[in-house]
């Protein structure tokens, strides 16, 4: 089965496993290959729950298993969780696009401004860890430029050290901002998947509120406000309204 690599779980999770993950993973893999997707899901979920891991490969494989059972809301949920951890993964994005063709709602997203698209594309070239490593590396190079400026024997070397260090300091702030941005994107749970078959979106957070429109299971929404057991959602096309929190599962 594609993308099942146990050692990646050991590296990425950073947690001690309470059960033998190699055995559980092997069982899940074997069940998937046999077409026993329900058993595979149980095993993948067991690894997630027992070991509290937050791992791209597990979410991706779990999404594949749910997709095979035509449980598209759960498939999309787990694909989206995988994408949060690895936003530049084209395989995950492709699977999400396929799963979205199998749900009822076909929502056209509002086009983003070009500079926002560029920023997001550039940010997603690396993970939070990648940007953090790059930030630290730039600081070390800055330190080298400082020594060139202080200890340089010629005016050219001192100027080179000064201006290079100044440029790298500015670059380090950009890299730091990118790292913080993608970290916040990965850790904020302000998006969710609808799990109820058909949900009327209300104008206010009460059952008696006016129904504005209806959305269906598998639709991705952004969470912009909460009040008690209700949450205000926004669709990709900009439409907004209130839903019971129980109808959603946070990504």
Cα separation values, 56 from 81, 91, 129, 149, 174, Å: 8, 12, 14, 44, 26
The torsion region of residue 226 among left (phi > 0), alpha (psi -120 to 50) and beta comes to beta
pLDDT score for 19: 56
Examine the domain organization and report whether 118 and 94 are in the same domain: no
Residue 45 lies in a domain: yes
pLDDT score for 50: 79
Residues of the chain with pLDDT under 50: 2, 4-17
CATH at residue 18: 1.25.40.10
Residue 109 lies in a domain: no
Number of domains composing the chain: 3
Domain holding 78, by residue range, is 6-100
Final residue in a domain of this structure, among 66, 100, 134: 100
Encode pLDDT of 117-130 as tens digits: 888 888 888 888 89
Please give the structure tokens belonging to residue 175.
């890299």
Paired residues of 221 in beta bridges: 192
pLDDT score for 175: 94
What is the reported pTM? 0.78
Examine the domain organization and report whether 13 and 76 are in the same domain: yes
Paired residues of 243 in beta bridges: 231
Examine the domain organization and report whether 183 and 121 are in the same domain: yes
Examine the domain organization and report whether 203 and 238 are in the same domain: yes
């Amino acid at each position: 089965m594609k993308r099942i690599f146990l050692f990646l779980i050991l590296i990425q999770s950073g947690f001690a496993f309470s059960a033998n993950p190699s055995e559980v993973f092997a069982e899940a893999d074997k069940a998937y290959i046999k077409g026993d997707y329900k058993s595979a899901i149980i095993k993948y979920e067991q690894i997630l729950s027992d070991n509290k891991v937050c791992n791209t490969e597990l979410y991706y494989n779990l999404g594949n298993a749910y997709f095979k059972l035509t449980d598209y809301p759960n498939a999309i949920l787990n694909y989206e969780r995988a994408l949060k951890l690895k936003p530049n993964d084209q395989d995950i994005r492709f699977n999400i696009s396929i799963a979205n063709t199998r749900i009822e709602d076909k929502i056209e997203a509002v086009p983003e401004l070009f500079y926002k698209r560029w920023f997001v594309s550039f940010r997603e070239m690396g993970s939070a860890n990648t940007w953090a490593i790059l930030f630290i590396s730039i600081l070390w190079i800055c330190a080298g430029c400082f020594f060139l400026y202080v200890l340089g024997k010629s005016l050219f070397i001192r100027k080179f050290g000064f201006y290079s260090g100044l440029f790298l300091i500015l670059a380090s702030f950009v890299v730091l901002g990118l790292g913080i941005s993608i970290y916040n994107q990965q850790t904020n749970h302000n998006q969710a998947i609808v799990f109820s078959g058909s949900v009327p979106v209300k104008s206010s957070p009460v059952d008696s509120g006016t129904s504005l429109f209806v959305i269906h299971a598998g639709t991705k929404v952004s969470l912009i406000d909460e009040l008690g057991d209700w949450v205000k959602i926004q669709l990709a096309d900009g439409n907004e309204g209130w839903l019971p929190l129980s109808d959603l599962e946070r990504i």
